């Protein structure tokens, strides 16, 4: 899908078509991240840093399940 770069105030921006907004499941005021990958850039509504932190948390919770269970009592 081709997007046109437009002047928005003193900045440049693109207007996302309704179909893209629907697929990204975003609304006005939501944040998007432009992430560079091996195949170029992609736009995502998910914070890649938070995703990495959550993966670490999942590993800790898996390894320390018995400790977390005791703490929840």
pLDDT by residue for the chain (73 residues), tens only, comes to 889 999 999 999 999 999 999 999 999 999 999 989 899 998 898 887 777 777 888 888 888 888 888 888 8
Q: What span, in angstroms and rounded, lies between the C-alpha atoms of 44 and 47?
A: 8
- What is the C-alpha end-to-end distance of the chain, expressed in Å? 53
What pLDDT, on the 0 to 100 scale, is given for residue 17? 93
Tokens of 61: 């919770």
What pLDDT, on the 0 to 100 scale, is given for residue 67? 84
What pLDDT, on the 0 to 100 scale, is given for residue 59? 85
What pLDDT, on the 0 to 100 scale, is given for residue 22? 94
pTM of the entire predicted model: 0.57
């Amino acid at each position: 899908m081709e997007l046109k770069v437009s002047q928005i105030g003193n900045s440049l921006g693109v207007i996302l078509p309704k179909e893209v907004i629907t697929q990204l499941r975003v609304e006005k005021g939501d944040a998007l991240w432009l992430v560079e990958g091996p195949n170029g850039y992609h736009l995502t509504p998910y914070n890649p840093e938070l995703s990495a932190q959550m993966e670490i948390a999942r590993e800790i919770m898996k390894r320390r399940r018995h400790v977390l269970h005791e703490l929840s009592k």
